[in-house]
Chain A
Amino acid sequence: QKEVEQDPGPLSVPEGAIVSLNCTYSNSAFQYFMWYRQYSRKGPELLMYTYSSGNKEDGRFTAQVDKSSKYISLFIRDSQPSDSATYLCAMSEGGGSNYKLTFGKGTLLTVNP
Chain B
Amino acid sequence: GAVVSQHPSWVICKSGTSVKIECRSLDFQATTMFWYRQFPKQSLMLMATSNEGSKATYEQGVEKDKFLINHASLTLSTLTVTSAHPEDSSFYICSVQIQAGETQYFGPGTRLLVL
Contacts and interface: CB of A to CB of B under 8 A. Distances in A.
Nearest to B101: A94
Majority-rule SS of A interface residues: loop
Contact of A99 (B6, B32, B105, B106): B32
The size class of the interface chain A forms with chain B is 20 to 34
Contact of B97 (A41, A93, A99, A106): A99
Interface in A45-96: 45-46, 49, 88, 90, 92-96
A42 B106 CA distance: 10
B46 interface: yes
Interface of B: 1, 4, 6, 32, 34, 42-44, 46, 49, 91, 93, 97, 100-109, 111
Interface of A: 31-32, 34, 36, 41-46, 49, 88, 90, 92-96, 98-101, 103-106
